[in-house]
Amino acid sequence: MELLFDPDRAPGLDAELDLEVGEERFRILVRDDVMEIKPPREAPAEAVILVGPDSIRALVSPDRPHDVDGWAETGVAIKGDQATAIQLLSAIG
């Protein structure tokens, strides 16, 4: 996913989000136009993106949604700062 991040689609994004895929959890850091995926941290994230194993393809699909309701239809849920999560999701792919 780091290679698919396009900072031009998320100008100025500076965030820490959690990505949960099934039972696995990762911390996504976006700083200075660079996205990194790290092990989870104890500190709370701005948002949590919950993805079922069957929905992982939706994250990189060219016709992916651009709003919370659209993501919910693909099996992806967002908790917390929805605007930040949507901004990140829109910059992947």
More confident residue, 38 or 56: 38
Which pTM value belongs to this model?
0.89
- The CATH class, in words, for 2-90 is alpha beta
Mean pLDDT, rounded, for 7-16: 94
Task: Convert the pLDDT of each residue in 40-75 to its tens digit.
Answer: 999 999 999 999 888 888 888 888 888 999 999 999
C-alpha angle 86/92/58, rounded to 5°? 80
Q: Where in the chain are the domains? A: 2-90
Contact 59, 51 (CB under 8 A): yes
At 83, the pLDDT band (50, 70, 90 cuts) reads very high
